[in-house]
Amino acid sequence: MTKMIKNVALAAVATLLAGSLATTSVAAASYTSELKTKKTLTIGLEGTYSPFSYRDSTGKLVGYDVSVGKAIAKQLKLKPVFVTTKFDSLVAGLDSQKYDIVLNNMSKNPERSKHYAFGSAYLYTGAVLIVKKGSDIKVAKDLKGATAAQTAESNFGIAAVKLGAKLVASPGFAESMNLIESGKVEATINDNGAWGVYKKANPKEAAKLRTINVTKEAGASKAYPMLNKKDTKLTKAVKKAEKQLKANGQLKKLSIKYFGTNLTK
């Protein structure tokens, strides 16, 4: 009798384990079927936007968004592969399935939300208006009629237009800074985290510039993973991975590494 009970118990455990494994397998299959490439999370980003994604002195792709992408991929047990693309083409890359997800300090806005899915916010920053020290621009409303280097489709570009600026196309933050320094434009609006890193890396150039807090006018910036609207299961899996990374402190650690402070809440 004892032997029979033992065998029944073992059989029950085996059944539970099999069910558990099956459930895990089904859950994995539910989002892996939406991946561009099997067992791979293909991630789109600029690769020229420090400290989010950029090349270090050895040419290696590094940055906050790169590290977050690797961490999310690890949680999903996938291999991360990065595809660098100019900002103006990033969103279109989701439509053409060039990658599964965009990690590039991307904010939500009503137009994007109509066509794309988003994970959870993983970075919270403010906005600054950057000008030369001798500029007549003192407050946000002074931007009206002034030239601003921006990527037109970015949230900061949209904010600059609303403030009455004349946009001069710029592919990225570094190029915008060059345009200000050369006198070709008067200003740019960008993330205060990016400005902080630029200031630290380029103290001589930064000393000739000043910033105006325009978080109220341009909006606080929240960065989200951006995905194809139809990839509902992958979006859910990414949100779950982000939740785990917040809970175990990994996102906080990465933020401190790249920004010197915790910008994840």
Interstrand relation of 187-191 and 101-102 (parallel, antiparallel or unpaired)? unpaired
pLDDT in tens, 199-242: 888 999 999 999 999 999 998 889 999 999 999 999 999 999 99
Q: What single DSSP character describes residue 142? A: G
pTM of the model: 0.77
Residue 156 has pLDDT above 70, yes or no: yes
- The mean of the pLDDT values for the chain is 89
pLDDT in tens, 14-69: 444 444 443 343 355 588 999 999 999 999 999 999 899 999 999 999 999 999 99
Which residue in 115, 84, 81, 85 sits closest to 100, CA to CA? Answer: 81
Which residue in 68, 75, 155, 152 sits closest to 107, CA to CA? Answer: 155
Kindly give the interhelix angle for 250-259 and 192-201, rounded to the nearest 10 degrees.
50
> How far is Cα 156 from Cα 140, in angstroms, rounded to an integer?
13
| pLDDT classification of 10: cutoffs 50, 70, 90 | very low
| Token reading at 85 | 């693309």
| Token reading at 24 | 């895990």
Output the pLDDT for position 144.
97
